[in-house]
Structure 1
Amino acid sequence: MISNKEDYKDYLQSDLRSAKIQKWKWQYRYKHEILKFQRLLRKIEYYQNCKKDLFSKIYLLFLKYSYKKISLKMGFTIPKNVFGPGLSIPHYGTIIVNPRAKIGKNCRIHASTNIGEIDGEAPIIGNNVYIGPGAKLYGAITIGNNVAIGANAVVNKSVPDNVTVGGVPAKIISEKSSKAMIIEGHK
């Protein structure tokens, strides 16, 4: 979670590196809508968590309005303070994440993904996790570090570190980790 200006800068840089970009350029605002979305998400997290003066609270309202507009346009329902640094969203499309979910650094999440809750409990997802297109994760489960979740998998049970899961319901299909499928934007 972003708790100071250094964290904010680190999150922004990690998200860029996860998209294979080293430095933000003003042209990206028009070329990379997903990165524009992510930068706005991080800015909201920074202002909500760190800035308490009146001007910042008013500016935060404007940021939230802009965020809602771009979220609707892109089909993303991604709440604040859920994803760690190094978030990678490679494609437009519906992504729904419950606000109770906690997701570590370097998560690569694809379109048509749903991370939901059951009885008020949502998944806790480790670092360096690849979530394939159409995957559904729900309930009080823990996904380990370096896990790859296959396309259209339905994950309703906890998953250990360094494996690949797939199927309905999801089960371990390989002992390979997610290392080849993600870009580590945050070390």
Structure 2
Amino acid sequence: MPKRTTPRYLTLCALGITLNIIGSNLALFLHLPLYLDTLGTMLCATLLGPTAGLLVGGSTALLVGMTTDVFSLYYSPIQLLIGLIVGFIFKYRTPTKIWQLFLAALLISLPGTLASTAITYFLFNGITSSGSSMFVQILSGAGVHQALAIFLVQISTDYCDRLLTLYLIWLLYRKLQPRFSFKA
């Protein structure tokens, strides 16, 4: 957090949490194979830094876990990882070209994919509230080891979700960052 918490900082964090909750509930209720739960985390991490990404991601996991999707509590480390990684990427090496987003999305996705694969495999045996669980069951039924099936589905859905979200954030960042000095 900045040395002095400003109303702008708190307002943007609240907006980030709200965006995450709306996105995660939309994906949950429509059974989408994407998660849409990190738009606000990434937005705050890009504009305010890694600490804000941690704050927004952790708060989102807690609020969604207590209200609409209990699985969200178990996946809170992924929200924290995303906030931290995106914050550091935009703090030290902001992508300036569209091709850099593909690499950044991979850097953001891979640690979270490894963690979520372990959580899904050991705690939930491959079945969660996400629409992607259906693909895990199809692969498992086809003879793929369940841990590998979970990883394959997670890496593809995580990467697509993070790339789409990162692209939207990148567009917003390019518009907002020159006009406002959000970085703490």
Common topology (TM > 0.5): no
Q: Whose helix proportion is higher, 1 or 2?
A: 2
Task: Give the structure-2-normalised TM-score.
Answer: 0.27
Which of the pair is proportionally richer in strand?
A: 1
